[in-house]
Amino acid sequence: MIITPHPSPNFGARRDGALPDMVVLHYTAMESAAAACERLCSPDHEVSAHYLISEVGEVFLLVEEDQRAWHAGAGRWGGVTDVNSRSIGIELANTGFAPFPEPQMTALEGLLVGIMRRWAIPPKRIIGHSDMAPGRKVDPGVRFDWYRLAMAGLSIWPNVDSEHCHNSGIVDALRTLGMTAECDDETLLTAFRLRYRPWLSGASGPPDQVDLAMATDLASRFPVDQPLLTS
């Protein structure tokens, strides 16, 4: 894989000796990779990511993996509140409304394989921005193919027929999975559906049996590593 260095000044040291143990996926919400690269490398905007992948599969290294890029912002995953210090951020050039092109997805898969191997990151800790910041963020959005990543062993996907499904509350299941950011139950469910049932994007109402089966299966097989937050 060819990775082109394009250093951004927007980074710092990871806090408290933290090492990356998760990956957060984003879309840029801009018209082109060039525009996104300019923004991510501008000291005026104070935002960055470790990698940017263009629409045609070009991979740009903006911040070294051992450094703390400024991509995640406020949010939580399990017991982690400083997600920037514990994660590697990958930006995908996409407006948020277009399909993710095949060359871009192929490049992402290759990049993830290397990152996961270098830092011993399991598939359950490849998450979306919307997973750790429900309601505040929606990327990588409804057009992103999480199922494809899961089938490649690079993420997770529910098995609604699993014998591990049970009748606990869906909010408890989502918190166990790692979705611990502070938000109301409806926002939490919306964020879950955005990733695992994107065809229901915008749907409101209480969780149904499919939501419950998916959430409880994932929580039983992929509980978050950190202790749950109580505050």
Which helix (H) or strand (E) is 188 found in, with range?
A: helix 185-196
Q: Residue 6 and residue 8: Cα distance in Å, rounded? A: 7
Q: Residue 193 and residue 184: Cα distance in Å, rounded? A: 15
Reading the block at residue 97, the tokens are 């409304």
- Cβ neighbors of 120 (< 8 A, separation 6 or more) are 21
Catalytic annotation on 91? yes
β-strand pairing of 87-92 with 51-53: parallel
Q: Residue 118 and residue 48: Cα distance in Å, rounded? A: 21
Find the catalytic residue in 31, 58, 91, 163. Answer: 91
Residues classed as catalytic = 91
